[in-house]
Amino acid sequence: MLRIKSALLTLALVSLASCGGDSSNDAYEQALDQANTAQAQAIALAVPSPCNAAAQCGVLTLTSVSGHCGVADYHVYSLVSPTADAASAAAANERMLADRAVSLAPPTSCVDAVQAPPTPACVANACVAASPAN
């Protein structure tokens, strides 16, 4: 009986030791990885062409995570591309995952850097961010 208790205690200690580190930090890192993967997927699906007019272009809104802060990140893409709907859905998923990562991050101060979304334009059958007027 004593051997069984000793073996169970040893197994429990080894199991705890293998966890290593702060579990809250691990949850944040995992959430951040998921958000970054989702962001890469959304960007890959947000292709700039085709387009014939600016009305066929849109702006995909993503959230870049920096610690306890989320910053809007914009990508101009074609609303008529075969992957446009998938890009929009992937962006919504990315924003949800980014919000989760931000909520799990250790508290830090955030710099209020608000950037307006770009105005999309269609140039040479590709959606681009319009240059501001000089």
Residue 98 in any domain: the answer is yes
Domain presence at residue 29? yes
Residue 134 lies in a domain: no
For residue 2, tell me if it sits in a domain: no
**pLDDT at position 117, please?**
93
Task: Tell whether omega for the bond before 50 is within 30 degrees of 0, i.e. cis.
Answer: yes
Tell me what pLDDT residue 68 has: 77
pLDDT tens profile 90-99: 999 999 999 9
DSSP 81-125: STTHHHHHHHHHHHHHHHHHHHHHSPP--------PPPPEEEETT
Question: In this model, does residue 59 exceed pLDDT 80?
Answer: yes
In a domain, 3, yes or no: no
Total domain count for the chain?
Answer: 1
**Quick check: is 81 in a domain?**
yes
Q: Is position 70 within any domain?
A: yes
Q: What does the mean pLDDT of the chain come to? A: 83
Contact (Cβ atoms closer than 8 angstroms) between residue 63 and residue 73? yes
18 domain residue, yes or no: no
Provide the residue range defining the domain that includes 54: 24-129
